[in-house]
Amino acid sequence: MASLPRSLTSEQLEQLIAACEGDSCNRRRDRAIILLLARLGLRAGDVARMRLGDIEWDSATLRICGKGRYEVRLPVPQDVGEAVIDYLQCRPSGVQSDKLFLRTIAPFGPFVSGDGVSSVVKRALARAGVKSPAKGAHLLRHTAATEMLRHGIPLEQIGSVLRHRGVDTTAYYAKVDMVLLMQVAQPWPEVLR
Say which of 29, 39, 43, 49 is annotated catalytic.
43
List 49, 141, 142, 163, catalytic entry: 141
What is the rounded CA–CA span in Å between residue 3 and residue 26?
A: 35
Cα 153 → chain centroid: 16
142 tagged catalytic: no
Please tell me the distance from the alpha carbon of residue 124 to that of residue 109, in angstroms, as a whole number.
20
Asked if residue 7 lies in contact with residue 139, where contact means CB atoms within 8 angstroms, the answer is yes
> Which residue is catalytic, options 49, 87, 142, 173?
173
Active site residue 164: yes
The catalytic position among 31, 138, 142, 163 is 138
Helix (H, G, I), strand (E, B) or coil at 156: helix
CA–CA separation, 183 vs 112, rounded Å? 46
**What are all long-range contacts of 166-172, with beta carbons under 8 Å and residues at least 24 apart?**
170/145, 172/1, 172/5
Strand ranges for the chain from DSSP E: 55-56, 61-65, 71-75
Total residue length of the chain: 193
Q: What CA–CA distance (Å, rounded) separates 184 from 166?
A: 22
| 151 is an active site residue | no
Q: Is 138 a catalytic residue?
A: yes
The residues assigned a catalytic role are 43, 67, 138, 141, 164, 173
